[in-house]
Chains A and B, each alone.
Chain A
Amino acid sequence: MPTDELTKARRRIADIGLADAVFTAVAAHRTPPHLTDDDAPTVWNDVSARFTAVEAGRYCSSADVGLIDLHARLTGLLTRVRASPSTAPMTDLVDRYRRIRDAQKALVFTATRGVAGSVEIRQAGVNIIAARLLQVTGAMSNIDEVWPEWHQHFSHASGAQPPWEHTSAEPFTVSATAANLRLLATGPARPWVPTLDQMKAAYVEQTAAEADRRRVANETRVYGSATQRRDAR
């Protein structure tokens, strides 16, 4: 019986082979080989390097294939979290969640040609750097509903902290912890691994929702609430 150390080292070699096979299949528009939930994050992380490296990034736009696959893995993972007793240890699931998010980041930055890559959002007529797009829309499609103060963190204004466990340096990152997995699985958040187009659409939506709320708040401050205005009439 090989030790865990040897099994892990052998698996790393197997993952390299899988990454090569997945890349070859995606580049040729064929169905990639089957990946297990355990392999998938590491393999997609490796594939993202091949998308960027081969033929001067010709295949970067194929990153969506990996993002769609990771979304399915995340959905499955959260279903398992919902089915687990609240006291169950979730070390494996937490580790897998972290690896899914790492692979997602690698694929998104592949699609955007770098962390500082500029992403054009035509619907809003703006360009935004990839890192910020990922912060706002990468973890869930409804950040404005879950953390209404999110926008203040970009304007250096103090605001309420997000409801998930996080570090002070990265409030937008939903840390890989058991508590956060339960929050994502059972709370109001709609967790996902979006494609680049889905991220753009979500950015427009979330920014509009935030602007609407701000407008209503301003009107309330100046004219009173809708109820007060009705009563005054």
Chain B
Amino acid sequence: MATATNPDQRHDDRQASADRFVATLHRYIDDGPVDLQQPADDLIAALTGAAPDSAIAAALTAGAAIIDRYWSVLRRGSADVAMARTLTNPQFEPLTDALIAALHPFARQDALDAAEDEVRDLQRQVAQANADLEAAVAAGDVEHVMALRATAQVTLPGRLGEARLRVLQLKVDASKPQLSAAAEHYAKQAAAVRDAEQLRDAAAAQLRDAAAALDLAQRAAAAARAAEGRAKATTVRLSEALREQTAAHEHDQQTRIRKLAGLAPTAA
């Protein structure tokens, strides 16, 4: 597979790999087992380096869960293939979410990881400061208590609160690209629905036209058949008349000749 150098092109390639993976899973559910390995490997190749391995793994795992669900529904024996498809369809939602996350990783994930580490570190420091404070109180060391109070009850909790805010802010920032990606995905799917509707409407119009043409042709054929019948009847009638006329003519002619010959009108 050729590697695109343009960032937009690379994103399109990744998206195309994801679409192929999803389409293959749909085909598996709709038409029976097909090869999933190649689309999965293409997806891994397209996303490696652009998304964390954990995000790629989450997408593959969500894909495998669809197949597992499909067979597990069928295995119970209470559902036919159509029902299994219906019951499996909701499993595509986690796959969509996983692919959106893998296709639009947060650019400042390192900063988010560091901020979360800082929160954990400060939580430990606060716990330690409180333990030290308790120990000083137990020891009756008023001077030490007074020295620790500010740190245990103001400084460290304040820093912890700020660190938590930073984490939340980064999480909000992280959610934005995924929100726009989800919106973009929705817009794309909605456009696909509109296209399919147009196709359906065009096909319906074609069907209506074809039905009208069929009706017209059937009526014309019926009329032609009736005309054929009438013509046939006329031919039969005229042929019968000709036969009768011929017989009468021959009889009359014989009578006239016999009369001329002085014979009786009919032979003895």
- Residues of A near any B CB (own CB < 8 A): 2-3, 5-6, 8-10, 12-14, 16-17, 20, 24, 46, 49-50, 52-54, 56-57
Contacts and interface: CB of A to CB of B under 8 A. Distances in A.
Contacts of A13: 36-37, 40, 60, 63-64
Contacts of A53: 71, 74-75, 77
B67 A16 contact: yes
B57 interface: yes
Contact of B71 (A5, A12, A49): A49
B21 to A, nearest CB: 10
A14 B35 CA distance: 9
A3 B72 CA distance: 29
B92 to A, nearest CB: 16
A6 B44 contact: yes
B63 A6 contact: no
B56 interface: yes
Contacts of B37: 13-14, 17
B57 A9 contact: yes
Top 9 closest pairs, chain A to chain B, by CB: A53-B74, A9-B60, A9-B57, A20-B33, A49-B71, A6-B53, A3-B53, A12-B64, A49-B75
A146 B33 CA distance: 45
A16 B33 CA distance: 9
Contact of A49 (B36, B53, B72): B72
Contacts of A6: 44, 53-54, 56-57, 60
What DSSP secondary structure best describes chain A's contact surface? Answer: helix
B189 interface: no
Interface of B: 33, 35-37, 40-41, 44, 48, 53-54, 56-58, 60-61, 63-64, 67, 71-72, 74-75, 77
Contacts of B53: 2-3, 5-6
B101 to A, nearest CB: 14
A57 B63 CA distance: 25
Contacts of A20: 33
30 contacts: A2-B44, A2-B48, A3-B57, A5-B53, A5-B54, A5-B57, A6-B53, A6-B54, A6-B56, A6-B57, A6-B60, A9-B56, A9-B58, A9-B60, A9-B61, A10-B41, A10-B44, A10-B60, A12-B61, A12-B64, A13-B40, A13-B60, A13-B63, A16-B64, A17-B36, A24-B33, A52-B75, A53-B77, A56-B77, A57-B77
Nearest to A110: B75
Contacts of B63: 13
Nearest to A12: B64
Given A20-B33, A49-B72, A57-B77, 7 more contacts: A2-B53, A3-B57, A10-B40, A13-B37, A17-B37, A46-B71, A54-B74
Contacts of A50: 71
A46 B74 CA distance: 12
A29 to B, nearest CB: 18
A189 to B, nearest CB: 32
A3 B56 CA distance: 10
Contacts of B77: 52-53, 56-57
Nearest to A2: B53
A6 B74 CA distance: 28
A46 B36 CA distance: 15
Nearest to B36: A13
A20 B24 CA distance: 15
A8 B57 contact: yes
Q: Most B CB atoms within 10 A — which of A2, A16, A50?
A: A16
A83 B74 CA distance: 42
Contacts of A10: 40-41, 44, 60
Nearest to B81: A53
B239 to A, nearest CB: 65
Nearest to B33: A20
A146 B37 CA distance: 46
B36 A16 contact: yes
